[in-house]
Amino acid sequence: MRIEGYIDHPIMKITVFKMENKYSIKFETDLYEQTYKLKTGSHLEGFDDVKQWADEGMQEKVLEHFNNMHLLSMKRNAELLPEEGEEFEEII
């Protein structure tokens, strides 16, 4: 697998990889990542086609999904981690 290039974005790091007959587009933020794998074909032959696939509309959807991932993570942490201010047993 090799890096084909990067797509500029102010919030996410977007990296395009190529391996044999597949492209992988990896969207990353500080805590989360999403990867989409695409087979090359008649509509997807090069880096410019991949950039078109990952256009602004797709990037907005990816950011929405990151937000949902964050909310899910925060909810799960709240379920598993003790609340602040919880009293602890006194140790002597």
Q: What is the pLDDT of residue 89?
A: 75
Per residue in 49-80, pLDDT tens? 999 999 999 999 999 999 999 999 999 999 88
Smallest Cα–Cα separation from 50: which of 14, 12, 20, 10? 14
C-beta pairs of 29-32 under 8 Å, 24+ apart in sequence: 29/66, 31/70, 31/73, 32/66, 32/69, 32/70
Token pair in block for residue 16: 């395009």
pTM: 0.82
Which residue ranges make up each domain of the chain? 2-79
